[in-house]
Structure 1
Amino acid sequence: MYLGGSISEYSFGNIQTEGDNVRRLCSFFAVMALALVLVGCAATKAPLASDPLTIASQGSFFVGGRNVKSNDLAMVGFFPPTGTITVDQIYVHYQVPVAAQRKPLVLVHGCCLSGKTWESTPDGRMGWDEFFVRRGFPTYVVDQASRGRSAADTSAIVQVKSGRAGSDKLPDVFGAGQESAWQIFRFGPEYPKVFPGMQFPLEAQAEFWKQMVPDWSRALPTPNPTVPALSELARKLNGAVLVSHSQSGIYPFEAASIDQRSIAGIVSIEPGACPKASDDMSIYKGMPILVLWGDYVDQHERWAGRLKACREFASVANRAGAKAEVVVLNDVGLPGASHMLMQDKHSLKIGAWLADWLDRHIAK
């Protein structure tokens, strides 16, 4: 460090002072370098629920729907029985991050559930709707037709109750009991046994059971009205990745048969069904497709058969030019996932793996 003059012109005390200055400057630059490292880490770290959530916009809307005129809307006196209602629409809640560059994700729930599937986990942790926003993806959470905030047509029930139709005209609505759901969701081989290492937060199961709602899917037209609504939503978004789960697992594939141009990719999580290997695969040419599975699948006959069928689909689809993968989380170092893997204790690790897959396979 040059202070003017030669070293010989300075006393011993001045030389000591110069050494102190050098040490101070070295310490200053070391602190600055550490601060820059910490800032860089903060920019790339995994999102935390404690970090402020900054979004460009949020809101909700409906897609699809049709008007139905009925003489059996009510028997309560203060509402007339005759009128027009709207049915078969889907409810959509969205959040868009600041300066979003990735394709939107449309999150579709499965049987006996609603869009709550993707929100805060039963034990209060960050849900995938928020996680993927923090990772830069606009997220659109759907309530299927006749589920959650998407209204159902109750006219047939009123018609039977009023005596104007027989009980055989009642809609085929059903609910899933906690004991049967326990096995189907693979918390364990049977209620209340638990699979070793299973990651669903069973300490919060009472909160999870509150998410279960009546399922109207068997009372709806074919294809399920959710399917054309998803196709319409993807077009409105100028391209989207459809992320489905369980019962809705087949819906993105069916939406692709309507218009594959607006579907940037498909992520089907433990689908109730994949397309049959004999189906027309040309609609999936060039399309990134991920069929994602949790653990213990081989210990449940229903799911083992579906995994096998999905592997057959992927093989045939790839020969037709698709970009399909079937991934079991245990094979990529994420064991213990239940059927409700987006709510498991390691759900954010699974989400991070999925976000990386999307970044590698979906064009921005």
Structure 2
Amino acid sequence: MLRVFALCLAAFAAASLPGHAADAPSPPLTLSEQGSFFVGGRDVSSETLSTLPAYAPSGTVTVDQVYVHYQIPVSPVRTPLVLIHGCCLTGKTWETTPDGRMGWDEYFVRRGFPTYVIDQSWRGRSAGNPSAINAVKSGKAGADTLPPVFSAGREAAWAIFRFGPEYPKVFPGMQFPLEAQAEFWKQMVPDWSAALPVPNPTVPALSELAKRLKGAVLVSHSQSGIYPFQTAALDRGGIRAIVALEPAACPDPAKEDLAPYKDLPILVLFGDYVDQSPRWAPRLKLCRAFVAAANAAGGRAELILLPEIGFHGNSHMLMQDKNSLDIADWLTGWLDKRVPAKD
């Protein structure tokens, strides 16, 4: 009886989520399972794990692993989504929006998608390696060996995330909830990506995860935009589609083999104000070239600008904008057409 009730409740939840789902309270969220695990990782032995007297400097640690948090709806009807955050952020990107609305993680679960939200390697709950820093602090290495680590200040991030052309100017019609800006800044963390090899250790971990799930859509954002493409180039196993939201880079068709993308559904999605951004306009141009070349090589790639399909005022953080659930609803339709559920 309880099982039947749960199934009915899940069906009601999915049915009551139109494009304007944020306008009314949602019914209780029903899950069959939730939890977390890690993929990837390697063991490292080091003599500089610590400079504190209470902790031994020598030992073995695991690094390069990727943290995964998952939620599985009752009787999932759609392909699992792997949600990959961008620069200076963590998996929080996909959770509750800065102004307290439903994030894409919950929304897609309610629509019947199992969701898997990761923290990139060396970010959030995915551990890094302090050895290089401690080696310098203890005098065993020179300062020039320190790894490059950076944080994006809010003044620079303002233009990068396209809230406006420069801090604190705002683009007209901006959809990002600027009244909750302080909450958004709290999401930002130090970024170690420049200290890591290429491809980022997140890439082979994504390959392991896609295979473990026996089929998944890799949904990337910004800095991580290139990762699903690199994962497909490494191994197509388990990858049912790629959705790249405002990718910082697409594969360069003049330099890279396009064979890994043949017959693979690919969506490259950009928001608004892109042509007004010296940072993003060239990236859009490269992605256009990639999509054209991939399709000429037998691909199934699409590039969509949100203003061209009726969504206006979207920032780089489109999954947190005020119309984020409308976009998610459109994306659900795209996924249903390009990535039908497996029998």
Q: Distance in 1 between matches of 2:222 and 2:135?
A: 32
Map 1:199-210; keep pairs closer than 5 Å.
199-210=175-186
Could you say if the C-alpha distance between residues 63 and 43 of structure 1 is closer, same or farther in structure 2, counting changes exceeding 3 Å? same
CA-based RMSD of the aligned residues comes to: 1.4
Map 1:221-236; keep pairs closer than 5 Å.
221-236=197-212
Structure 1 position 363, deviation (Å):
2.4
- Mapped pair 1:174 → 2:150: yes
Structure 1 position 322, deviation (Å):
1.0
Q: Distance in 2 between matches of 1:106 and 1:96?
A: 12
Structure number with bigger Rg:
1
Report SS of the residue matched to 2:301. Answer: strand
Report SS of the residue matched to 1:302. Answer: coil
Could you say if the C-alpha distance between residues 169 and 286 of structure 1 is closer, same or farther in structure 2, counting changes exceeding 3 Å? same
CA contact (8 A) 1:108 1:248 kept: yes
Please name the residue that 1:319 is paired with: 296
Please name the residue that 1:70 is paired with: 46
Please name the residue that 1:186 is paired with: 162
- Mapped pair 1:57 → 2:29: no
Could you say if the C-alpha distance between residues 55 and 342 of structure 1 is closer, same or farther in structure 2, counting changes exceeding 3 Å? same
Could you say if the C-alpha distance between residues 152 and 116 of structure 1 is closer, same or farther in structure 2, counting changes exceeding 3 Å? same
Q: Relative contact order (alpha carbons < 8 A, sep ≥ 6): 1 or 2 greater?
A: 2
Greater helix share, structure number: 1
Q: How many residues get paired?
A: 326
**Structure 2 stretches of 5 or more lacking a match?**
1-10
- Mapped pair 1:272 → 2:248: yes
Report SS of the residue matched to 1:357. Answer: helix
Report SS of the residue matched to 2:280. Answer: helix
Map 1:323-362; keep pairs closer than 5 Å.
323-362=300-339
CA contact (8 A) 1:49 1:126 kept: no
**Structure 1 stretches of 5 or more lacking a match?**
1-38
TM-score by length of 1: 0.88
CA contact (8 A) 1:294 1:328 kept: yes
Could you say if the C-alpha distance between residues 86 and 345 of structure 1 is closer, same or farther in structure 2, counting changes exceeding 3 Å? same
The Cα offsets for residues 280-305 of structure 1, whole Å up to 9 and x where unpaired, read as 11111111000000000000012011
Please name the residue that 1:257 is paired with: 233
Of stretches 257-266 and 189-198 in structure 1, the one that deviates more from structure 2 is 257-266
Please name the residue that 1:286 is paired with: 263
Could you say if the C-alpha distance between residues 41 and 303 of structure 1 is closer, same or farther in structure 2, counting changes exceeding 3 Å? closer
CA contact (8 A) 2:13 2:27 kept: no
Q: Distance in 1 between matches of 2:285 and 2:44?
A: 41
Q: Distance in 1 between matches of 2:319 and 2:340?
A: 24
Identity of aligned residues (%): 66
Q: Distance in 1 between matches of 2:206 and 2:340?
A: 20
Q: Distance in 1 between matches of 2:212 and 2:26?
A: 33
Map 1:235-246; keep pairs closer than 5 Å.
235-246=211-222
Letter aligned with residue 275 of structure 2: D
- Mapped pair 1:113 → 2:80: no
Please name the residue that 1:143 is paired with: 119
**Runs of 4+ residues deviating >3 angstroms:** 39-45
CA contact (8 A) 2:13 2:29 kept: no
Could you say if the C-alpha distance between residues 56 and 74 of structure 1 is closer, same or farther in structure 2, counting changes exceeding 3 Å? same
TM-score by length of 2: 0.93
Structure 1 position 41, deviation (Å):
11
Letter aligned with residue 353 of structure 1: W
Q: Distance in 2 between matches of 1:298 and 1:242?
A: 26
CA contact (8 A) 2:96 2:102 kept: yes
Please name the residue that 2:139 is paired with: 163
- Mapped pair 1:133 → 2:105: no
Could you say if the C-alpha distance between residues 261 and 42 of structure 1 is closer, same or farther in structure 2, counting changes exceeding 3 Å? closer
Report SS of the residue matched to 1:221. Answer: coil
Map 1:90-109; keep pairs closer than 5 Å.
90-109=66-85
